[in-house]
Amino acid sequence: MSKERTAPEPLSACDEALATRYDVALLDLDGVVYVGPDPVPDAPEYLRKAAKEGMRIGFITNNASRPARVVAEHLSSFGLDVLPDDVVTSAQAAAKLVAAEFPKGSPVLVVGGEGLYVALEEYGLTPVRSSDGHPVAVVQGFDPDVNWVMLADGAHAINEGAKWFATNMDETIPTAAGKAPGNGTLVQAIRAAVDVDPVVAGKPEPPLLETSIERLEAKHPLMIGDRLDSDIEGANAVGIASLWVATGVHDAYDLARAPKNQRPTYVAAGLGALAEKQPGVTVDGSKHSCAGWTAEIVNNAVSVKGEGEPYDGLRAILSAVWTAVDAPAEPVKTAKATARGRRPRPKPAPTADAIALDGALHRIGLAN
């Protein structure tokens, strides 16, 4: 059973370095620590510094293609001190879900790669390659070698009664060449041929993060990611703090348009934030201030003034936008309605898409 927690408010302040406030970092990998085979610039050095401050570094990935051992070897090639136990994959979280429902030795059809085979065996299950083995479950995870035959076999087993588990629903994955289709697109291929939805283990669903917190013995974890709809939403779902970094899929525009369940506790350019305090935002009427910047909404556009660090300006902008879009509808009084005794029509709050951001983001140096 998951522990009852409450995530801190978005854009919270932290009066000490994040690496000393939180005992364990739960780091997403793709777009945060590495992109393809190469590390995000300076990320390994920042993580080594955080570890010296006493923060345990855990690596949490929705990508189920590789076993934890192989991921640890990849990370160690960057000069990081990483053991397989420091890595938790969505394949392990999915295998744990299957093991909770079926007895040891049960056959499970794999639509994916080595990461799923190893995880299933770790939990005492028997991975099989064909639906001819009458599997009790189908587990699907991303692997570049997944093909039509594997997808079709998964659909056949599900239609014959096997329970379907998916490691994650990410529609894309970051690669050195840009975005590429992720496991979510492959799940949709099977979904077109079956009448049920899968049980999902990976972010933003709770199982992966709950499994990670348990395995890494985290008391005060900090989820760190680049994706709002998986990393940040997942952290909010299990009630833990989150740090969004700008090294991967989503950008400042996406942040400004984020719904409530995808808003992070902290925002930063990258992992250097682990060694830093985090400023909060003060609100005075319509004005939202962070360090040297002040932002407000004027005629459905963000106006920002001041100077200083770009991400301080971004925090002020986000506070102004989120406050505006979250505001309750205001009644609009008209002379005609008042004369006839009618209730005034409500004036809806602006949507994030309707608020012009380009000028403000350009002003702080974060425009696309």
Catalytic position from the list 15, 30, 86, 231? 30
CA dist 79 and 358 (Å) reads: 39
Which amino acid belongs to residue 255? Answer: L
Q: Is 42 one of the catalytic residues?
A: no
Strand duo 163-166 + 199-200: pairing: parallel
Whole-Å CA distances, 69 to 41, 59, 77, 106, 211? 23, 12, 13, 24, 17
DSSP label of 229: I
137: which strand partners?
Answer: 108, 163
- Residue 143 annotated as catalytic: no
Token pair, residue 345, equals: 């029509």
Q: Please, which residues bridge with residue 330 across strands?
A: 347
DSSP letters spanning 106-163: -EEEEES-HHHHHHHHHTT-EEES-GGG--SEEEE---TT--HHHHHHHHHHHHTT-E
Beta bridge partners of 301: 298, 356
Catalytic-role residue among 28, 153, 226, 231: 28
Say if CB 123 and CB 93 are below 8 A apart.
no
Residues involved in catalysis: 28, 30
